[in-house]
Amino acid sequence: MSTHGYEEELQSERRYVGRLYEWLDAERMRVKDRYAGALRGTGGTLVERDAEVRALARQMARLNVADSGLCFGRLDSVDGETIYVGRIGILDETDEFASLLVDWRAPAARAFYVATGATPENMRRRRQFHTLGRRVLDFTDEILGRPGDAERGGRGDAALLAAVNAPRGDGMRDIVATIQAEQDEIIRSDHPGVLVIEGGPGTGKTVVALHRVAYLLYTQRKRMESHGVLVVGPNAAFLDHVGRVLPSLGETNVVFLTPGDLVPGLRVATRDTPEVTRLKGSLAMLDVLAAAVADRQRVPDEPVPIDLADVSVRIDAETAQWAIEEARATGKPHNDARAVFVDVVTWVLTERAIAKIGRGWLSREDRAAWEHLRSELVDELDDHRGFAAALDRLWPTLTPETLLAELYSSPERLRAAGADAALLRTEGDAWTVADVPLLDELVDLLGRDRAAEAAAEQERREEAAYAAGVLDLMIGREDLMDDEDQLLASDVIAAEDLAERFEERDTRELAERAATDRDWTYGHVVVDEAQELSAMEWRVLMRRCPRRSFTVVGDLAQRRSAAGATSWGAMLDTYVPGRWLYRPLATNYRTPSEIMAVAAAVLAEFAPDVAPPESVRSCGVPPWSRRVDEDDMASAIEDFVRAEAASEGTSVVIGPPGTPGAVAPSDTKGLEYDAVLVVSPERILADDPRGAADLYVALTRATQRLGVLHTGPLPAALQGLTVQRSG
């Protein structure tokens, strides 16, 4: 194309994209007006208006995110059809069968990501726009249909390389404009079970998983939107990093949690030692927890006397054992089965009391007198403090927190439950991340706190009674109003509207409701850094998604948890045998080849059978190392921080836990920075059994520049670094 022809085409594309933005602005205004009307409450019931407000709010959010990069390319077919591809779909109002803009998730847009010279998908040309705000700066064309025209992966590299070379911001960006063919295949997978995406550092597995969620919400919105999506990541920094991707794609019904947040009300980040983590993460803890619950269902060592007004009776071991067996036979959770235990003990004691009181004058045939006496005795036992205290000792109402804290702090209870003595700790309720799945498991073993639920129900009844009283008062006052006043009162609030307002309706957004409801079930779950999850943590997640619809993201080579996965089958076959699918990613879009060569040497030492991902680019800046004295380490770190502060992009210092001014390798998993300084790699290797995996993670966070400071001898795997001399 000549320069003149290119400029004409560019102006034409700018006009077209400008018209798309005109439509976007008009549609946004239309939805905004409808939203304002719904808030004012014009017509319909409160429930209907609530639903409309929520739907319009979601529509507004999708229109707002479309403002950035609304249209990023077009396809020209061999049949002469032109398709523009963007963040949302826009229909041609003059032709119901035509689209002005095709949503990137729609089947018609697939060729934009997968067409190659060898397999052009009936396309003649792919055009990619480079935009800034609402303006098309320029475009690049790829002619399809002749083998050899397309470069790596069937895509021209201009847009991709521009994206991966751009300075990193505060969070992960979406990749809708630069999705590669291998990524697109995974994103559009309709596999109904568990899809495992494994890839080394920089392969884009996390962002691919998030785009797959957006795709599933687009293709299965009716099923998934009402349940929402759960995204589980290794730490809060990671979730903050990735948390903007789905909102940028217009999807907001998403809950982001770490493994330490999976029980509502808890926010836990403290980690156990590797050995304790391994013990707590094992499925053997199921037997320990069951035994710990059973241990709280006791028979008395000595008969417990219960002194009533006219007689004294005793709870003996035989009675308690019978009551325990009857309660357990119900199969109900501990707290729910307590009622059966209490009923059996109460029946035995009243039988014995009646036999003593009625000896010589009350016959079994006198049923009325017998039942009257029993009723009086039951009432007396209900109010008897000693009886209540005895029941609480023999079959207490328990919470997960109480049971687990008392188990951890008692050597005797640990022995009775068959638990390892390593679980003993002074502060029983000093929760760690590995305790969270145990607390969640105990919710099912113990059941609900019925007393608390009864109190909440009573409060609800009182509120409803108050509402009914207000309504009666208003209706009564209508007799005192003239016709005009009565009409005004009916306009302001109708009887059915008042009743609706006092119904138990939750007006919170779906994500907020889901995050605070332990029994919420999600339409889909994304698990990132999944190799770190224990078998007990997988049980929690499977409970959260009965449909077993998962996107699992990880890299077994980066595992550091002693309770984590050694193979995907070992973790998943228990829950979804034959329903999980494995998809690898082998291309590194983040780490330049110069840095990846160094990281690959570390990988070869601890995982020689794992092939490192192949980088698509080089940065031209060799990674370096410098040996410094211990006393000079702090100033060397400061020099790096000061120099990077003057450069564009982000930077981080990574070192062994406790290093001043540095973050631990485990805290950077899944994150990326323009520049990385790794401090004391020799200590990272030596201080932890999985130190090599930690060092591999640290080295592969950089997108442009990597430096290493060390005080001891440089590890052999890092000999490929360019040596810088001090001073």
Q: Are residues 437 and 563 in the same domain?
A: no
Secondary structure (3-state) at 454: helix
249-250-255 Cα angle (round to 5): 95
Residue 390 inside a domain? The answer is yes
For residues 230 and 116, what is the distance between their CA atoms, to the nearest angstrom?
35
Q: Which domain holds residue 702?
A: 593-723
Residue at a domain's end among 179, 200, 225: 179
Running along the chain, 727 residues long, what does each successive block of 10 average in pLDDT? 85 96 94 85 69 82 86 93 94 79 94 87 92 91 65 50 64 76 92 95 92 92 87 92 83 91 95 96 98 98 94 96 98 97 96 80 68 89 95 97 98 98 97 98 88 62 60 52 43 44 59 92 96 97 96 94 94 94 93 94 92 90 94 94 91 93 91 95 90 94 95 92 80
Tell me whether residue 153 is annotated as binding: no
Residues 626 and 715 placed together within one structural domain of the fold: yes
Q: How far, in Å, are 635, 649, 674 from residue 639 at the CA level?
A: 6, 17, 16
Kindly state whether residues 657 and 686 are assigned to the same domain: yes
Instruction: Answer yes or no: is 203 a known binding residue.
Output: yes
pLDDT value at residue 487: 37
Q: Which of 422, 421, 427 is nearest to 405 (CA)?
A: 427
Q: Are 142 and 1 in contact (CB under 8 A)?
A: no
- State how far the Cα of 340 lies from the Cα of 323, in Å rounded to an integer: 7
Residue 100 lies in a domain: yes
- Please tell me whether residues 205 and 105 are part of one structural domain: no
Q: Is 204 annotated as belonging to a binding site?
A: yes
Q: Which of 446, 475, 493 is the last residue of a domain?
A: 446
Report how far residue 331's alpha carbon sits from residue 218's, in angstroms, rounded to the nearest whole number.
Answer: 42
Q: Is 251 domain-assigned?
A: yes
Task: Give the model's pLDDT for residue 371.
Answer: 79
Instruction: Specify the pLDDT at position 149.
Output: 43
Q: What is the reported pLDDT for 97?
A: 65
Q: Tell the residue number behind the tokens 């700790």, with chain if given.
A: 425
pLDDT of residue 481: 47
User: The domain that contains 704 carries what CATH number?
Assistant: 3.40.50.300
Task: Find out whether 205 is annotated in a ligand binding site.
Answer: yes
Q: Is 206 marked within a binding site?
A: yes
Residue 458 inside a domain? The answer is no
Same domain, 543 and 609: no
CA dihedral for 248, 249, 251, 255, sign (positive or negative): negative
Assess whether 713 and 599 both reside in one domain.
Answer: yes
Determine, yes or no, domain membership for 495: no
In this prediction, residue 154 carries a pLDDT of 41
235/270 Cα distance (integer angstroms) = 11
- CB < 8 Å & 24+ apart, contacts of 272-279: 272/432, 272/433, 272/434, 274/561, 274/562, 274/689, 275/422, 275/562, 276/422, 276/423, 276/432, 276/434, 277/434, 277/534, 277/561, 277/562, 277/563, 278/562, 278/563, 279/420, 279/422, 279/423
Name the DSSP class of 613: P
State whether 168 and 194 are in the same domain.
no
Q: What is the per-residue pLDDT for 500?
A: 46
Q: Max CA-CA distance within the chain? A: 120
Q: Is 202 annotated as a binding residue?
A: yes
The answer to the question of whether 200 is labelled as a binding residue is yes
459 domain-assigned: no
Tell me, yes or no, whether 193 lies in a domain. yes
Say yes or no: 58 and 41 in one domain. yes
Considering the domain architecture, whether residues 172 and 234 belong to the same structural domain is answered as no
Report the number of distinct structural domains present in the chain: 4
Residues 104, 77 share a domain: yes
